[in-house]
């Protein structure tokens, strides 16, 4: 790690990445509150703050505060608290979080008072961490990566790791096979090290290790054990000595969709661990192979390569994953070609049925249409503005909304679509202000939705008199908006029958016990968790992991999972759901709006058009996006690079 500072190279107005012009001298993204006000009382504690902001960025990949321009950033760093870094990377150790919070205190007297004091704290963290004998890059190269058929095999330490003739890599295996001396043992007087060096080591060591853990190509969980290292054959129970029953977990663990998908992977892993603790399935332990879709939504993407590998090389019995419709569409052909089984947890646009997919998320008639029907009963709602990601789900929801509002004599003033990864919405917000809608529909996904709602609130549009209704935002995204007043905002979603808000039959308490009390739980996470247990129930009933036998067992009867009744409709392999409309009040606490809680059957193809007409609609989108299921263009901030 090299720390460099070029000082004031040049100034560009309103570019937060560069030193700001005018009376302030510094980099706004890493500037202390007292420095941002031009205070003359700036001392070493201001540097402590900036170092803490750098630490935050090392661990999360983003600065602690952001904004559309320099002024917004300065206001945020003076008045709001940074998002808990564990909302971006849940595995960040508590000790690191405490250091970050103290260094980023608004008041200098609450921070570390000297570099030496901070160094002592960092040393204690370093002393408690295991020393690596191998670099992060060598550890990654020892892990098999998703690749297209025909790509060259990955070579690592003289061995062929193509996934065909070796077990999926784990962190422990990578460490065991490390080359001694590649990361030399450190013997030094730490007191002579610069504070920046100590921080860099901690940031890269902890951040790199955690990032690698989240992207492991496989995670093997032994029954009844919290230690993933395999015990000796003599100490294993009989079931654990049998061939593992492999499953795949495929989600975006990096990129703009990770904020929505990483929690789904955690929920699925919790279910796998619970099954292994109970003895596995069919007398065999379950081995979960976790792969990263990298938020790539094109046909030729990390999602597609990972699905192909799971089905053809790892020979998994089932895969639990996907969030964006583009990713699902990209991997669907692999499951149908290789007779695989996918459990898809996201509430989505419908317009699909596959014999190889179980849809544990909701269809539009279970969350989109009921929300519109509720708003139709409210006085004064006539003009609507829709903002969405330029992908299949938002475009299909737009088509459904257009047809539904015709019945209500409403008007869709405008629809605005941004590509995945876009975070700048000042232009569309100006258009919203000018058109003066009475309801804003938000169908953005991932980080884009978080950015839009923040900017909407900062523009004083997100008010009780102009409500915003979101179809694709959950508690994971809401956690990043904790410092923003979203009162008056609505969220439409669907739960499994008999699940009450805040008491998902113990799932919430079990998840928090596993991953930390600070973590939030959404209905999509519930669907991901239930999908694993639903598959397990069918395997037990069929007494086999065979896909066809499991599918037959799934559709034969209603299954009960920890007190929650889950019914798979045999006609389309979607689950029955109960609609729920949430309204945010003081301190962003969600209040459930009284609606009809009748359990709704899934209707993937709405009757407003024939199935043939919907297929023509889908084909037109696929052709428009150069044979992809989402706009393949780069976000605005990356265009031209």
| DSSP, residue by residue, 78-124 | HHSPPPPGGGTSTT--HHHHHHHHHHT-SSGGGS-SSHHHHHHHHHH
Residues 36 and 101 in one domain: yes
Contact present, 218 and 288 (Cβ < 8 Å) = yes
Asked, for residue 50, whether it belongs to a domain, the answer is yes
Longest dimension (CA), the chain: 76
**Amino acid 90: pLDDT:** 83
Last residue of a domain, one of 95, 128, 161: 128
430-442 pLDDT, tens digit per residue, is: 999 899 899 999 9
Report how many domains make up the chain. Answer: 2
Q: Is residue 556 part of a domain?
A: no
Percent of the chain's residues with pLDDT above 70: 73
Residue 43 belongs to a domain with what CATH number? Answer: 1.10.510.10
Structural domain boundaries, residue 121: 28-128
**Residues whose CB is less than 8 angstroms from the CB of residue 158 and which lie 6 or more positions away in sequence, other chains included:** none
Residue where a domain stops, chosen among 157, 179, 214: 214
* Interval 239-254 mean pLDDT: 86
| pTM of the shown model | 0.65
| Domain shared by 113 and 58, yes or no | yes
Pair of tokens at residue 597: 């809680």
What is the reported pLDDT for 597? 66
Instruction: Let me know whether 60 and 36 are in one domain.
Output: yes
Long-range contacts of 549-553 (CB under 8 A, 24+ apart): 550/318, 550/341, 551/341, 551/355, 551/358
From 146-150, 296-300, 472-476, the region with the lowest mean pLDDT: 146-150
200 and 117 both lie in a single domain: no
Say if residue 45 is in the same domain as residue 123.
yes
- The pLDDT, as a whole number, for residue 130 is 59
> 97 and 172: one domain?
no
Q: For residues 531 and 345, is the Cβ–Cβ distance under 8 A?
A: yes
Domain boundary among 153, 180, 214: 214
* From 42-56, 79-93, 137-151, 548-562, the region with the lowest mean pLDDT: 137-151
Q: What is the model's pLDDT at position 453?
A: 87
Please indicate, yes or no, whether residues 45 and 74 belong to a single structural domain of this protein.
yes
Asked if 343 and 534 count as a contact pair (C-beta separation under 8 A), the reply is: yes
Query: Cβ neighbours of residue 545 under 8 Å, at least 6 residues apart?
Result: 245, 281, 282, 317, 318, 539
Q: Poorest-confidence range of 379-388, 407-416, 473-482? A: 473-482
Q: Is residue 457 part of a domain?
A: no
| pLDDT 10s digits, 216-230 | 433 444 333 333 333
Same domain, 148 and 102: no
Task: Quote the tokens at residue 463.
Answer: 């008010």
Q: What is the mean pLDDT of residues 231-242?
A: 47
| Residue 1 confidence (pLDDT) | 57
DSSP line for 220-280: E--TT-S--SPPPTTTS-TGGGSPPEEEEEEE--SSTTHHHHHHHHHHHHHHHHHHHHTT-
Better-scored residue on pLDDT, 359 or 609? 359
Q: Looking at the domain assignment, is residue 48 inside a domain? A: yes
Is residue 74 domain-resident?
A: yes
Mean pLDDT computed over 479-498 = 80
> What pLDDT is stored for residue 259 in this prediction?
85
> Does some domain include residue 409?
no
What pLDDT score does 30 carry? 82
* Average pLDDT value for residue range 9-34: 56
| Domain assignment of residue 159, yes or no | yes
65-79, 135-149, 596-610: range with lowest mean pLDDT: 135-149
The number of angstroms, rounded, from the C-alpha of 217 to the middle of its chain's C-alpha atoms is: 17
Mode of pairing for the β-strands spanning 357-359 and 383-389: unpaired
Q: What is the pLDDT of residue 194?
A: 39
- 32 shares a domain with 124: yes
| Residue 380, pLDDT above cutoff 80 | no
Q: Which residue carries 């049925």 as its tokens?
A: 353
Tokens found for residue 31:
């500037």
Q: What is the DSSP secondary structure assignment for residue 150, as one 8-state letter?
A: T
Whether residues 100 and 145 fall in one domain: no
Contact 582, 556 (CB under 8 A): no
Residue range 506-549, pLDDT digits in tens: 888 899 999 988 888 888 999 999 999 999 999 999 999 999 99
Q: Are residues 111 and 151 in the same domain?
A: no
Q: In angstroms, rounded to a whole number, what is the distance separating the alpha carbons of residues 166 and 159?
A: 10
2 vs 354, which has greater pLDDT?
Answer: 354
Query: Is 346 contained in some domain?
Result: no
Query: Is residue 528 a contact partner of residue 345, using CB atoms and an 8 Å limit?
Result: yes
Q: Are 596 and 377 in contact (CB under 8 A)?
A: no
Q: Residues 210, 191: one domain?
A: yes
CA-wise closest residue to 126 among 138, 118, 135:
118
pLDDT tens track for 587-615: 777 888 988 767 899 999 998 898 889 99
Here the tokens at position 284 are 């065999």
Q: What is the pLDDT of residue 3?
A: 62
Q: By CB neighbour count within 10 A (0-12 exposed, 13-18 middle, 19+ buried), where does 633 fall?
A: middle
Confidence label for 360 from pLDDT (cuts 50, 70 and 90): very high
Between residues 605 and 234, the one the model is more confident about? 605
Average pLDDT for 75-96: 85
Check pLDDT > 80 for residue 5.
no
């Amino acid at each position: 790690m090299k720390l460099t500072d070029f000082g004031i190279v040049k100034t560009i107005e309103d570019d937060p990445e560069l030193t700001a012009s005018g009376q302030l001298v510094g980099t706004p993204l890493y500037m202390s509150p007292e420095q941002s006000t031009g205070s003359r009382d700036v001392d070493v504690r201001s540097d402590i703050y900036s170092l803490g902001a750098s630490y935050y960025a090392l661990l999360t990949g983003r600065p602690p505060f952001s904004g559309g321009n320099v002024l917004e950033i300065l206001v945020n760093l003076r008045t709001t608290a940074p998002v808990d870094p564990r909302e971006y990377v849940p595995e960040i150790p508590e000790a690191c979080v405490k250091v970050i919070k103290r260094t980023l205190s608004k008041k200098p007297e609450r921070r570390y008072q000297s570099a030496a004091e901070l160094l002592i704290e960092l040393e204690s963290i370093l002393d408690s961490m295991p020393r690596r004998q191998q670099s992060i890059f060598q550890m990654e190269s020892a892990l098999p990566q998703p690749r297209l058929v025909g790509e060259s095999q990955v070579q690592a330490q003289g061995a062929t790791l193509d996934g065909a003739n070796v077990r999926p890599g784990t962190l422990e295996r990578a460490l065991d096979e490390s080359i001694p001396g590649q990361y030399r043992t450190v013997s030094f007087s730490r007191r002579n090290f610069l504070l920046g060096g100590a921080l860099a080591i901690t940031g890269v060591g902890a951040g790199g290790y955690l990032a690698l853990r989240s992207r492991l190509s496989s995670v093997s969980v032994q029954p009844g054990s919290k230690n993933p290292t395999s015990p000796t054959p003599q100490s294993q129970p009989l079931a654990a000595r049998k061939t593992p029953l492999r499953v795949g977990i495929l989600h975006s663990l990096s990129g703009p969709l990770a904020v929505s998908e990483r929690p789904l992977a955690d929920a699925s892993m919790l279910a796998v661990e619970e099954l292994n603790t109970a003895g596995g399935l069919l007398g065999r332990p379950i081995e979960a192979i976790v792969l990263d879709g990298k938020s790539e939504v094109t046909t030729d993407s990390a999602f597609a390569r990972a699905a192909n590998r799971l089905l053809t090389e790892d020979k998994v019995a089932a895969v639990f994953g996907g969030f964006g419709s583009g990713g699902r569409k990209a991997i669907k052909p692999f499951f149908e070609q290789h007779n695989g089984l996918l459990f898809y947890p996201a509430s989505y646009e419908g317009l699909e049925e596959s014999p190889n997919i179980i849809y544990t998320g909701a269809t539009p008639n279970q969350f989109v249409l009921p929300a519109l029907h509720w708003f139709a009963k409210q006085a004064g709602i006539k003009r609507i503005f829709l903002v969405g990601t330029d992908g299949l789900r938002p475009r299909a929801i737009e088509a459904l909304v257009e047809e539904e509002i015709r019945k209500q004599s409403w008007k869709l003033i405008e629809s605005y679509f941004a590509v995945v990864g876009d975070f700048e919405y000042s232009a569309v917000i100006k258009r919203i202000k000018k058109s003066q809608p009475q309801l804003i529909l938000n169908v953005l996904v991932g980080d884009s939705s978080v950015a839009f709602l923040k900017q909407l609130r900062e523009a004083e549009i997100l008010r009780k008199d102009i409500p915003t209704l979101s179809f694709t935002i959950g508690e994971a995204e809401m956690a990043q908006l904790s410092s923003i007043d979203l009162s008056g905002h609505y969220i439409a979603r669907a739960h499994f029958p008999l699940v009450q808000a805040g008491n998902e039959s113990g799932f919430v308490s079990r998840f928090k016990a596993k991953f930390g009390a600070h973590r939030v739980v959404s209905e999509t996470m519930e669907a991901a968790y239930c999908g694993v247990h639903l598959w397990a129930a069918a395997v037990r009933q069929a007494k086999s992991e065979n896909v066809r036998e499991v599918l037959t067992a799934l559709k034969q009867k209603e299954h009960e999972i920890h007190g929650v009744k889950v019914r798979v409709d045999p006609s389309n392999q979607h689950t029955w759901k109960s609609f729920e409309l949430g309204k945010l009040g003081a301190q962003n606490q969600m209040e459930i709006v009284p609606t009809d809680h009748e359990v709704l059957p899934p209707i993937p193809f709405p009757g407003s058009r024939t199935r043939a007409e919907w297929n023509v609609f889908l084909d037109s989108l696929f052709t428009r996006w150069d044979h992809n299921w989402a706009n393949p263009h780069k976000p605005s901030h990356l265009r031209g690079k």
